[in-house]
Amino acid sequence: MQELTLIQKLIVWIPPVLLAITLHEVAHGWVALQFGDPTAKTLGRLSLNPLRHVDPIGTVLLPLVLFFLGGFIFGWAKPVPVDLSRVPRPRHAMVWVALAGPAANVAMALVWALLLKLGLTLAPVLGWAGLPLYYMGVAGISINVVLAALNLLPIPPLDGSKVLMGILPPRLAWRMARLEPYGMLIVLLLLALGWLPLLLGPIIHFLHLILSLLLGNA
């Protein structure tokens, strides 16, 4: 995307980033609702309106800083509230509610990959008119794969930790839950030290492999 101007890059990146973060959170709330927890629905958080999910730091400031620094872009939204104490087998429900977010990102990456292919198909026919789909497809794949990979890390409060807490014996799960107040500081420290891309690399590679298999490119 080096050939794009700054304004063009922002236009290409903003819709995929907002969609990725919004649908990730809505997926958590929707799956919780299927298990019998209406908390997110009651609070109006099953909305596709990005403004209901925006976190000033995670949705706006951090992605913009990473964008201007030229690093890989990620962020987060305001977590959708769930109360799984209201449902039968809450630990079982927690696993599926947690997995819903990364699964939504993988599904969106697949949709963006299809749009990328469409853009490549239209470009020879329509010229520049096919390029926005191509560039937005590249951005959409990138942000969704990174978000899925990031959230699969077993660091509270990321989704991977919730999956692990739903599987571990209650005593170990409780110990992991105690790390939650420090989780995002740990993630930002890993980013500052340059270790976060190393941790995410294998997961990102695996997700790209899945996308290639689904699209018949492998």
Q: What is the DSSP letter of 130?
A: G
d(CA 38, CA 22): 18
Catalytic residue among 19, 23, 25, 116: 25
d(CA 214, CA 218): 9
Any catalytic annotation for residue 25? Answer: yes
Question: Please, are residues 98 and 158 in contact by the beta-carbon 8 Å criterion?
Answer: no
Question: Please, are residues 73 and 13 in contact by the beta-carbon 8 Å criterion?
Answer: yes
Q: Where are the alpha helices (DSSP H) in the chain?
A: 6-34, 39-42, 62-69, 90-126, 131-151, 159-167, 170-177, 183-192, 196-215
Question: Please, are residues 80 and 40 in contact by the beta-carbon 8 Å criterion?
Answer: yes
Active site residues: 25
